[in-house]
Structure 1
Amino acid sequence: MNRTKSTMRITHIDYTILGLLKQQPGTAYGIRKIFETTALGNFSSSPGTIYPAVRKLKKLGFVVDTDKHKRGSTMKLTDAGIAALKKWLLLPVKKEDITRNTNLLILRFAFMDDLIDMTSRVGFLEGFVHQVTMYLEELNIFYQKNADTLPVQGRIAFEHGLMQCQAHLKWGIHALKTLKVKGYEN
Structure 2
Amino acid sequence: RGGSMGRFFDHGDLRFVILGLIADKPGHGYELIKAIEDRVGGAYSPSPGVIYPTLTLLDELGYVTVSTETGPRKLYAITDEGLAFLEANRDTVTAVFARMDEAGERRGGGTAPQIVRAIENLKLTVRLRLDRGPLSEAETETIAKALDDAAATIERS
State the TM-score, normalizing by the size of structure 2: 0.49
Larger radius of gyration: 1
Higher relative contact order (CA 8 A, sep 6+): 2
